[in-house]
Amino acid sequence: MNSQIIVIFGASGDLTKRKLMPSLYWLYKHNRLNASFALLGIGRTPYTDETYREFIEKQLPLFAAPTELDAISVSNFLQHIFYYSMDPADKEAYAELKARLKMLDQQISNPGNYLYYLATPPSLYGVIPKYLQNVGLNIEIGEQTRRIIVEKPFGYHLSSAQELNYIYNSVFREDQIYRIDHFLGKETVQNILALRFANGIFEPLWNRNYIDHVEVTAVENLGIEERGGFYDKSGALRDMVQNHLIQLVALTAMEPPALFNADSFRNEVVKVYQALKPLTNEQIKSQVIRGQYTTAHSEAHIIKGYREEKNVDPLSRTETFVATKLYIDNWRWGGVPFFIRTGKQMPTKVTEIIIHFKPTPHSLFKGMAGNSSLNSMIIRIQPNEGIVLKFGLKVPGSNFEIKQVSMDFTYDRLGGSPVGDAYAKLLEDCMLGESTLFTRSDAVEASWKYFDPILALWENDPCMPLYGYPAGTWGPLEADNIMGTDYAWTNPCKNLTNTDLYCEL
């Protein structure tokens, strides 16, 4: 890996201290960074190099894995960190930023390779690239590399996403732009591809002939914490569904790429988005359920409702829960429903994909309930990454009674790098110029094209219902309606822990 300066805009913010610094420290400790790298934090907080290093030193033990921390490594890592106090919204400050980068170049013998990370509020996403362009910090000369990473949400609807794409593509080439979705950095998400395309026993079954329906769930047992100001302007659909969940749908449904490279992989992702069957207004009303958590009482304490959270409008109609049914109109998936849901203040924290296979055409044995199938595959992304394959076997005894059993596997059994540090994986990919797991501009727009009509109807029709659900439950009862009489949501147990791969209520 070449020498490089990593420039983090928003260096005093929550994302930097919780995710970026621990991940960069892990890369440093495991010798995955060039010895002559530097990290320049940018923010309005008036730190110096030394006071910012002291701040990071205090934060690392709170968010980095305790087993990774040792005094010598932390001390050496901190010496690579610098800070420059400026307002990223101030156009005039970028000339001085350029001068500071030139000084750092000389100090670490860096030929002008810069990686910009926008850990800022979305309001600055369209501003920072243009101001970098004004002083030539986007231009690559000779063998230089200039790349930019931008966090979600990439736009708030289709038109704003198109506007951002226009700005970024006028400042950088597409191969310099890295739209990050940390879900794609998770080992289990990447292993969906290996599971499907490295095994001849699964891919022949991965279609409408053998799969009955698919569930994708990503829920949390926390509220919005201190993010009320941001969350009340976005909601669950923008925060989770339009990016994270639809990415999981794409990985589950995509065709095998001809080659495993960035272009071939991302081409297949875009094809899935383009094949999403558009919803009419009537279908939106019946197939997209939104909810908002309300106050709940328990013996131990009171969980306050969303509208009582800090910086949330007391009359807010922002959704904290979304459940929907969608179809992919292509040869492989025609007629197979995909049920997706996400929510705050759920009974547990879990992200998983469940593949429900069709039942056998004729039930020979007792214990097989009607049209339901004994066969399913659970791909658990968190909290304990792994796979469960469920099938039927005979109960010991004289009668042919069939019961469902399971085989399970967790990814930590494979060894290698610790599972779970998605940001470390994606940061390293970006430094190496590997863009496979980053979202391309056409994928962003194709996703927004599908979800835009839903947001428009919610915003323009005051009669669109917003269902309440008590905090700590599985969402509004109306979410069951989109499953119909043939299906039911799969709810993992409430006390799921990092050591549990699978259990049900």
Whether residue 98 is annotated as binding a ligand: the answer is no
Whether residue 366 is annotated as binding a ligand: the answer is no
Distance CA 278, CA 355 (A): 23
Whether residue 434 is annotated as binding a ligand: the answer is no
In the DSSP assignment, the letter for residue 328 is B
Residue of 30, 80, 157, 244 marked catalytic: 244
Distance CA 181, CA 184 (A): 6
Whether residue 13 is annotated as binding a ligand: the answer is yes
Neighbouring-strand partners of residue 83: 41
DSSP per-residue string spanning 459-487: HH-TTS--EEEETTSSS-GGGGGGGTTT-
Distance CA 165, CA 447 (A): 14
Closest CA to 423 of 7, 121, 9, 21: 21
CB atoms within 10 A of CB 36: 14
Q: How far is CA 349 from CA 24, 299, 488, 493, in A?
A: 26, 21, 19, 10
Closest CA to 353 of 490, 221, 479: 490
Say whether 252 sits in a helix, a strand or coil. helix
Whether residue 186 is annotated as binding a ligand: the answer is yes
Per the listing, tokens 């919780």 go with 18
Whether residue 10 is annotated as binding a ligand: the answer is yes
Whether residue 504 is annotated as binding a ligand: the answer is no
Q: Is the dihedral of CA 183, 57, 41, 7 positive or negative?
A: negative
Residues 252, 195: contact at Cβ < 8 Å? no
Catalytic annotation on 301?
no
Whether residue 17 is annotated as binding a ligand: the answer is yes
Whether residue 313 is annotated as binding a ligand: the answer is no
Whether residue 239 is annotated as binding a ligand: the answer is yes
Whether residue 316 is annotated as binding a ligand: the answer is no
Whether residue 15 is annotated as binding a ligand: the answer is yes
Whether residue 185 is annotated as binding a ligand: the answer is no
Binding-site residues for substrate, in ranges, read 182, 186, 220, 239, 344, 349
Binding-site residues, in ranges, read 10-17, 44, 152, 182, 186, 220, 239, 344, 349
- For the annotated catalytic residues, the residue numbers are 244
Binding-site residues for NADP(+), in ranges, read 10-17, 44, 152
